[in-house]
Structure 1
Amino acid sequence: MASKHIVMFPLMAQGHIIPFLALAKLIEQRNPGYTITIVNTPLNIQNIRTSLPPNSNILLKELPFRSSDHGLPPNTENADSLPPREISKLVRASETLQPHFEHFISDIIQKDGHPPLCIIADVFVAWTVGIAKKLGIFHVTFTTCGACGTAAYMSLYLHLPHRHTDSSEIRLPGFPEAFRLHRSQMPEYLRGADGTEPWATFVRKSTLLSLQSSAMMCNPVEDVELLGLQALRNITGLHVLAIGPLFPLEARTPYQRNGKKPGIQLEACLEWLDSHLPRSVVYISFGSQNTISASQMMELARGLEESSKPFLWLIRPPAGFDLNEDFRDEWLPEGFEARMRKNREGLLVRKWAPQLEILSHESTGAFLSHCGWNSSLESLSRGVPMIGWPLAADQFYNSKMLDEELGVCVELARGSEDNIEHTHVERLVRLVLDEEKGKEMKEKAIKLAEMIRAAVKEEGDEKGSSLRVLDDFIRGMAEASLDSRD
């Protein structure tokens, strides 16, 4: 009998756990009778538990972890609670979970009499591939990023091409000859990397391990990310499965982000959006782990006010401060929030916002974003054009792809050190909402939304590309597993 047990292991970060959980729910929905176990550290498992529907059969497994053993604050198990410079410590500390994870898998084999069907592991916990090979289990690397972002990240760390040229334009192995990355589109910590730094060593090792997987899953749609998927296949040599988008496509579908409570009630948020004209509001968010500098925040606020366009801004403390502390009025122009509230020109939300519902609302006309992949895909699926401000990691490559390949984004700034002026903010906001280029971006975004929806559409025997790819892969693994036991 073929195994029907799938073990999933996301990185300890919200932007990774969310798509892993969505994938687990999708597999469970489409494969009744399968057992799915999500593995992580205790505090993350507690948060995941609050996000499971009452009727879910998804199992959760805690692996012991003590953050203070790794130079981290006590009870720190998620990247969201750490400043950027500390996140690499947490990610590298995941390697200490190896013996606990292997013991767990061995227990499954002893109990069931055969190995799990497969292990689906985050690209940053690629050390799981060694355990899978040792115990005879299919191993699938899941990158929660887009294909272009993942391919660029891997190419940079595998080859360090910026070390071999003085040019500001860098060619990336695995990409077409004409594709170039500007040095300013590389995260600051990577521009000076020579491959010997702890983080560079870890990423390179993880990338090389992931190349030993049986396959790779990623979260875009095949027809949307053609260039990125081809580059990723060139670089990895793996069977790459595009299975996105991994979130609800219907407006106002319940979608809880692992215990995160919005800083505003959904009803109040929708009531504010209802009071504005269609395609008139700018939504601003830099994700759960990113923020901009205090001076940039001031200029952004001034530019938004001078644009006279309504905006909804998810605000967090600026760079150098704890993202979880209370927001201070001093970080914005004097009297800014009161003026915006009085005229209903701007709504400032603390901590967290119901992003999918905001992007789904007809009044939302643009998304000023860090271009994290989850946020980018959510925006595209709603047909909302973007104003890009990449801050870290794959965000720079996503912004480039959204702008140059898809034509749905204009870039405002790069990084938290970039100098911006309020006049530039005002100009780009007006460009996207009022000018002809903005209308063209909107038309392209709507077409992409249709393609994204088609990928997960199902009518009778007809299935979208992402559903078909996922179903075929699960069935193929089950058949191969059965053959290996005959």
Structure 2
Amino acid sequence: MQKLIKGLPVARQPPADGEERYGIKVPVNALVANIFIAASLVGCVERKLPYYFLNCSAIGPFRSMLYVTERTPVTEKNDLESFETVRPESEGPQPAIGQMMKGMRLAINQFLSTGNGILINSFREIEQRFIDEIKQDSRMRNMEYYCVGPFMPEEKDDKNPSHAELGQKVTRWLDRQPDNSVVYVSFGSVVVPNESRIVEIAKALQALKKPFIFSIRQHQQSILPGDVHVGIDTHLDNPEAPGLFLHWAPQKLILAHRATAVFVSHCGWNSTIESLFNGKPIVGWPIFGDQIENSLWIEEMFLGESLLRREHADNDEEKKNITSDKIVAAVRRVGYESDAARKSALQWIEG
């Protein structure tokens, strides 16, 4: 990034002799970059090139990044699950986070105040209170905040023939299901649920006795309890199967279908807005980072339930203590016993 910035042709500046321009001929007026590479944008300051950070999720969870200091404790874990939500020191002991995550956040914090603004993948009606809170931080007081989302990618024809065929089969299966009957489970493209989570989800789906679609990677399907496989289709050859295990799921298609009742999700921001865009309530099982705040926000907005309580957000034991019984109870409340969450979600479609 620093080499790219050094060689960019910048409007109203003489060309940088001898620098690689990477084929860019039109002078650049401003740069927009993901907030996670904030530390690499120091060259913009040197070249007086305006630059803006892009925060791909809601701004609420971003607050925890500002709370990381040199005093924040470190855990030996250095995987994605060490990407914890951090509280202000004034609220008590901070949870330990991975060394890599701590270093990255400190680097981001160091350069945040040098940017010209933050573009937020959300809308101001739900973000203003968080923006007002963030502005209390002296580093962020003069920052401009632009709510430019939520982004919903344009629908395009899938060029992968196997995906197109799978989508047709999933549609045929969904068409056979009653309205608001199907449980859809997915942890997204980044989170890899561990064995215990997979087993608890499988047991919950079995106990619910509702049609379901479980998006689970091919190599993890062997983890599923043997009796769960009975009558379940993994190849979509049986349109009367009570459930589907898919190694790749056409999520937008599933969430848009009238048969889908409830989404059991890790609550990544993309999955969250896709669900609300289609008026589907959510049962959140967050794993790390902004997912935790997103899941709690869903519950606060009466759009579903979070399986993780706020007071347990930094407690590893409580995170592991999510059983099939808890999942079943939450899915029944959100998807079947009450239509309150569905009505709230549908209101988001209407704006």
Paired letter, 1:442? R
1:311 is matched with which residue: 176, 198, 212?
212
Gap change, CA 1:263 and 1:377, over 3 Å in 2: same
Whether the aligned pair in 2 keeps the contact of 1:115 and 1:136 (CA below 8 Å) is no
Measure how far apart 1:118 and its partner are.
0.8
1:130 aligns with 2:35: no
Counterpart in the other structure of 1:358: 254
Measure how far apart 1:348 and its partner are.
1.0
Q: Report SS of the residue matched to 1:213.
A: coil
Q: Which runs of 5+ in 2 are unaligned?
A: 16-20, 75-84
1:229-261, Cα deviation, whole Å (9 max, x unpaired): 333444422111111121148xxx32769x897
Measure how far apart 1:293 and its partner are.
1.8
1:387-410, Cα deviation, whole Å (9 max, x unpaired): 001011111111111112x11121
Q: Report SS of the residue matched to 1:157.
A: coil
Measured in 2, the distance between the counterparts of 1:128 and 1:329 equals 40
Counterpart in the other structure of 2:347: 447
Measure how far apart 1:107 and its partner are.
8.4
Gap change, CA 1:285 and 1:255, over 3 Å in 2: farther
1:347 is matched with which residue: 207, 220, 244?
244
Give me the CA root mean square deviation. 3.3
1:69-106, Cα deviation, whole Å (9 max, x unpaired): xxxxxxxxxxxxxxxxxxxxxxxxxxxx422x234415
2:145 is matched with which residue: 223, 236, 240?
240
Counterpart in the other structure of 2:200: 299
1:155 aligns with 2:66: yes
Paired letter, 2:49? I
Higher relative contact order (CA 8 A, sep 6+): 1
Measure how far apart 1:113 and its partner are.
8.8
1:287 aligns with 2:182: no
Paired letter, 2:189? S
Paired letter, 2:304? C
Measured in 2, the distance between the counterparts of 1:420 and 1:205 equals 34
Measure how far apart 1:336 and its partner are.
2.2
Q: Report SS of the residue matched to 1:347.
A: strand
1:327 aligns with 2:219: yes
Measured in 1, the distance between the counterparts of 2:51 and 2:206 equals 51
TM-score scaled to structure 1, two decimals? 0.58
Counterpart in the other structure of 1:200: 102
Measure how far apart 1:223 and its partner are.
1.5
Measure how far apart 1:290 and its partner are.
0.5
Paired letter, 1:192? A
Gap change, CA 1:450 and 1:160, over 3 Å in 2: farther
Q: How does 1:49-68 map to 2 (within 5 A)?
A: none
Measured in 2, the distance between the counterparts of 1:260 and 1:156 equals 46
1:196-247, Cα deviation, whole Å (9 max, x unpaired): x343122111123122110100101111334333334444221111111211
Counterpart in the other structure of 1:412: 307
Counterpart in the other structure of 2:283: 387
1:417-459, Cα deviation, whole Å (9 max, x unpaired): 51232222222221112212xx1111111112322xxxxxxxx
Measured in 2, the distance between the counterparts of 1:160 and 1:374 equals 32
Measure how far apart 1:264 and its partner are.
6.3
Whether the aligned pair in 2 keeps the contact of 1:311 and 1:347 (CA below 8 Å) is yes
2:331 is matched with which residue: 404, 412, 429?
429
Gap change, CA 1:215 and 1:261, over 3 Å in 2: farther
Measured in 2, the distance between the counterparts of 1:428 and 1:126 equals 39
Counterpart in the other structure of 1:4: none
Measure how far apart 1:143 and its partner are.
0.8
1:152-185, Cα deviation, whole Å (9 max, x unpaired): x32332587899xxxxx98648xxx9xx8x99xx
Measured in 2, the distance between the counterparts of 1:216 and 1:354 equals 31
1:272 aligns with 2:183: no
Structure with the bigger percentage of helix: 1
Gap change, CA 1:329 and 1:382, over 3 Å in 2: closer
1:29-75, Cα deviation, whole Å (9 max, x unpaired): xxxxxxxxxxxxxxxxxxxxxxxxxxxxxxxxxxxxxxxxxxxxxxx
Counterpart in the other structure of 1:403: 299
Gap change, CA 1:365 and 1:200, over 3 Å in 2: same
